[in-house]
Structure 1
Amino acid sequence: MRSPTAALLAALILTVPSAVACAPGSGSPTGGPPPTPAPRQAERSASLLRQTPAERARTIASLRQVDDLPLYEMTYHGGYDIEAPLTDEELGRGEDGWACSLFHRGAEFGRNFDWDPNPAMVVRADPPDGHASLSVVDVSYLLGGTGPADLKDAADRRRLGHAVLSPFDGMNDQGLAVGLAQTPDAELPARTPGRARVSSVRIMRLVLDRAATVEEALTLMRRYDVDFTGGPQVHYLLADRSGRSAVVEYGQGRMHVIDDRVLTNITMAGTDRRARLADTRYRTLTEGVGTRADALGLLRRVAQPHTRWSVVYDLKAGTARIVTGQRWSRVHTFAIAAAASPVSSPG
């Protein structure tokens, strides 16, 4: 697969000054103060992220490296505007996508993120007008390439500070989880006049901040047009601590809600169970969620050579167990409520 460009995951590109939001190979600052951003772009950044100087300092101070994937950790302090209009940058995404495997079982929500060898970050957020959450982000597009960040470099710290806006999977303190996976392209709904348009990752931040149950999440998602301009098209698995789960997929000109608890990269809408079970990863997880097998063990069964992280969210305890780079003997445990440090233990 090709590496994602800086524009691919554009839900937070509009928050990064133009001197920082560099596509891989376009050149990014590696030392000293970055060039002054263009006023228009700086205004976009200021209008989207709502932080006081003290909140920015606390966010930067929380950044640290957890392991050598590398996996980073950050607690975001402050607010943000997740309904700001999409920019040209957001609509200029590439055509790459994500291959993933997700499942829901009881209070467990598991997912493999299968992609290029990029850095990742665990992000805690507790916005003043929303629910607290824990999420995982591929931060390669923030860094202008696939290399690790230099946490001593001010430019890299500023880039990573914006990761709060683009969760790839996550869970909030109400016990609601959401994750995405690439799906084959299909006919999308027409735009609804007057309805806010958001990107495929920004809708997940909306869900984590504003919904407490699957039903609330579905109601919220129906209020927005999700924009996949330029690709990739994705679908979503939602789950809550009551045991409810659902797949949301866009195709045939409308938003579909499918009653299922497993998601891979196959089209779900209009596909019967026999056709879904023909997909090896889907079949393995469907059989596994009916057993008492360890959730990380299930993810290991469907891991691919390019699985970057595997995470199991406990929707009742508010914790997450994370394995990076298929190093199954090393498990990091994080909680929505920030602790002094993550707990790492043998798997």
Structure 2
Amino acid sequence: MRTPAVVMLSVLILTASVACAPAAPTPSGAAPQGVLRQTEDQIARTAASLRRLDDMPLFEMTYHGGYDVEAPLTDAELARKGDGWACSLFHRPGEFGRNFDWDPNPAMVIHSRPPDGYASLSLADVSYLFPPGARPDLSAAQDRRRLAHAVLTPFDGMNEKGLAVGLAQAPDARLPARTQGRTVVSGVRIIRLMLDRAATVPEAIDLMRRYDLDFTGGPQLHYLIADRAGRAAVVEYADGRMNVIDDRYLTNITMYGADRATKLADRRYRLLTEGGGTEAMELLKRVAQHHTRWSIVYDLENATAKIVTAQRWSRVHDLRLSADG
């Protein structure tokens, strides 16, 4: 039996008690709350934990409660009252590294230990939880509630089994036709599902095949998935189907049908393939762009990570899979 779940979020760090079973009943003592499942006491404890750590901005909070892992995050859900993804990713034995290159938005680290899933560490850009141009205000109850939803919007992450996943913008993607009766999830929610429920690359790919994806509201995406056993694959949607490509590097070029020469013509892809002997964070520095927001290296063996925000390379945050050590 698993211990009570704790999810730690922070823009960089968040912890939370979380149940990730779909359509979980509303907890006793709480009104129906949509995607988040919290009692009044859990809402108050979550709000009381919020604090600002640095000027990225980097926030920290402890999220108490549960969530529906398959329900969509609608504008109506995010507005509930509360008292270019240009990226570079690589995998090599024991390590998974990525630069998230986009607008200058706040970010959040999520430490999650659901009772019916795997513990994980992940990153999210929380601007997608707010109206365009808005900045989180920790003094506002509604903003604090919006931030709690970051547990459901990871952009990259690693779980306790050593599975790592990251997304990047794809030049073009044509998703398969919808399958009647199949759950539709967003391009970031599928990462939460993989982190919670998949231990290996084959399991993650099988899980992706059981959902229909929706890229509405954001760019087209493709994914790099890797595991502790050394397996890696790129998942990209083209020709109306999900394609699995044998590769361990990913930037923003079309991978499906591309030969090696075409891939190496992309500067960042080529630098990643040539960087086998380079320290992982240094390699991310080499492929960083002016709009790189975070650079993270996941240690798949030891379940730890190192992260640099806004290209401040001398300031490295050390992270653990669990906020409890």
Instruction: Select 1:111's aligned residue among 77, 90, 98.
Output: 98
Cα-to-partner distance string for 1:29-55 (whole Å, 9 max, x where unaligned)? xxxxxxxxxxxxx98x72322233343
How far off its partner does 1:261 sit? 0.7
Contact 1:119 1:146 in 2 (8 A): no
Residue aligning to 1:244: 231
Residue aligning to 2:240: 253
Question: Using the alignment, how far apart are the partners of 1:298 and 1:135 within structure 2?
Answer: 20
Instruction: Select 1:218's aligned residue among 193, 205, 223.
Output: 205
Secondary structure at 1:328 match in 2:
coil
How far off its partner does 1:146 sit? 4.5
CA RMSD across the alignment: 2.2
- Are residue 161 (structure 1) and residue 148 (structure 2) matched? yes
How does 1:318-337 map onto structure 2 within 5 Å?
A: 318-337=303-322
How does 1:169-318 map onto structure 2 within 5 Å?
A: 169-229=156-216, 231-288=218-275, 290-291=276-277, 293-318=278-303
**CA separation of 1:206/1:276 partners in 2, compared to 1, >3 Å: closer, same or farther?**
same
Letter in 2 for 1:221: M
Question: Using the alignment, how far apart are the partners of 2:62 and 2:104 within structure 1?
Answer: 24
Question: Using the alignment, how far apart are the partners of 1:148 and 1:65 within structure 2?
Answer: 13
If the length of structure 1 is used for normalisation, what is the TM-score?
Answer: 0.78
Letter in 1 for 2:311: Q
Residue aligning to 2:88: 101
How far off its partner does 1:77 sit? 3.1
Q: Which runs of 4+ in 1 moved over 6 A?
A: none
- Percent identity of equivalent pairs: 70
Contact 2:47 2:141 in 1 (8 A): no
Letter in 2 for 1:123: I
Letter in 2 for 1:335: R
Instruction: Select 1:70's aligned residue among 57, 63, 67.
Output: 57
**CA separation of 1:147/1:166 partners in 2, compared to 1, >3 Å: closer, same or farther?**
same
How far off its partner does 1:187 sit? 2.8
Question: Using the alignment, how far apart are the partners of 1:127 and 1:208 within structure 2?
Answer: 10
Contact 1:63 1:74 in 2 (8 A): yes
Structure 1: which 5+ residue stretches go unaligned? Answer: 1-41, 91-96, 341-347
Residue aligning to 1:134: 121
Deviates more, 1:193-202 or 1:137-146: 137-146
Secondary structure at 1:161 match in 2:
helix
Contact 1:75 1:125 in 2 (8 A): no
Cα-to-partner distance string for 1:299-325 (whole Å, 9 max, x where unaligned)? 000000000111111112111111011
If the length of structure 2 is used for normalisation, what is the TM-score?
Answer: 0.83
Letter in 2 for 1:209: D
Question: Using the alignment, how far apart are the partners of 2:169 and 2:244 within structure 1?
Answer: 16
Contact 2:173 2:221 in 1 (8 A): no
Letter in 1 for 2:181: G
- Are residue 84 (structure 1) and residue 50 (structure 2) matched? no
Letter in 1 for 2:316: V
Deviates more, 1:224-233 or 1:213-222: 224-233
Secondary structure at 2:225 match in 1:
strand
**CA separation of 1:174/1:74 partners in 2, compared to 1, >3 Å: closer, same or farther?**
farther
How far off its partner does 1:265 sit? 0.2
Question: Using the alignment, how far apart are the partners of 1:76 and 1:88 within structure 2?
Answer: 21
**CA separation of 1:317/1:63 partners in 2, compared to 1, >3 Å: closer, same or farther?**
farther
Contact 1:313 1:321 in 2 (8 A): yes
Structure 2: which 5+ residue stretches go unaligned? Answer: 1-29, 78-83
Question: Using the alignment, how far apart are the partners of 1:147 and 1:134 within structure 2?
Answer: 26
Count of aligned positions: 290
Instruction: Select 2:108's aligned residue among 112, 121, 128.
Output: 121
How far off its partner does 1:179 sit? 0.6
Secondary structure at 2:34 match in 1:
helix
Question: Using the alignment, how far apart are the partners of 2:155 and 2:258 within structure 1?
Answer: 25
Question: Using the alignment, how far apart are the partners of 1:296 and 1:138 within structure 2?
Answer: 20
Secondary structure at 2:33 match in 1:
helix
